[in-house]
Structure 1
């Protein structure tokens, strides 16, 4: 694991991965997990970590519920801490920071994207911002918890 990470770079990577089109596209959960893994370089396989986010797109399996960008951050926190008692308060902190960082003060994908055409540029850009938010807030929380220096 690295001893320092760039918070800004994590957010930029999460947004970029989510913004890709076609086969190179990462859904919101995958993009957050991949960006966090690339920054922290933990000792578990990247492919397995990213696969944990596979069902998080469009609000957990397309249900429109919890935003996958938040869910991806929560999953990565759990992978990094490996302990329910340790992860739970960190996940709660991420939830609160993510919710506060949205313009609607919610975590529901359906509400966050209401009125946006799913394949439209507005929705894609919006979700990229949410991926950056989820990844950067999770990174800040993990840096504090793990003693990793946060740059930016």
Structure 2
């Protein structure tokens, strides 16, 4: 598969998990990136993202998709006890934050969704789109920096 095909497939997979109700935003991103990476973490790792939907436990703060993206970045650039911080971690995390802030003028769930009735299909579609964009953004960055070998990807 080509890079663009992989990124589109990642976006579609993440959106599908959310759309079908299998996962919420943050969970969809984490699960999809773990799959993209070839399951280096147990599937139960997705549970780590379960507190983040709807802006951190429905508080309306940081967008759950962004939270999931940050967790996904940590899956690749994070460290274990006693290790030095990976020099890519903070710049990559900041870049994801800035990408969403530039795109949606905020990273706050209640701001990003303020023009929608929360229980509406339109709001759900809006959030599905953001979820897919974050997953695609993370996949693109991981491919660009060589953290993922596109010749070994099985999606």
> Could you say which TM-score interval applies, normalised by the shorter chain?
0.7 to 0.9
**Aligned partners of 2:25, 2:136: CA distance in 1, in Å?**
13
Match of 1:90 among 89, 92, 117: 92
Q: What is aligned with 2:50?
A: 54
Name the residue aligned to 2:146: 146
Name the larger-Rg structure. Answer: 2
Question: Aligned Cα RMSD in Å?
Answer: 1.9
Q: What is the CA-CA distance between 1:142 and the residue it aligns to?
A: 1.7
1:102-129 CA-partner distances (Å, limit 9, x unpaired): 3xx2111000111312221100100000
Once residues 56 and 76 of structure 1 are traced to their aligned partners in structure 2, the CA distance between those partners, rounded to angstroms, is: 13
Q: Per the alignment, do residues 98 and 150 of structure 1 end up closer, same or farther by CA in structure 2, a change over 3 Å counting?
A: farther
Separation in 1, partners of 2:150, 2:92 = 17
1:76 corresponds to: 72
Tell me the distance in 1 between the aligned counterparts of 2:147 and 2:32: 19
User: SS at the partner of 2:60?
Assistant: coil
Unaligned stretches of 5+ residues in structure 2: 80-84
Equivalence for 2:82: none
Contact 1:7/1:150 (8 A) holds in 2 = no
- Report the Cα offset of residue 41 of structure 1: 1.3
The number of residue pairs the alignment matches comes to 142
Q: Output the TM-score relative to the length of structure 2.
A: 0.83
Counterpart of 1:100 in structure 2 is 102
Distance in structure 2 (CA, Å) of the matches to 1:69 and 1:150: 24
What TM-score comes out, normalization by structure 1 length?
0.84
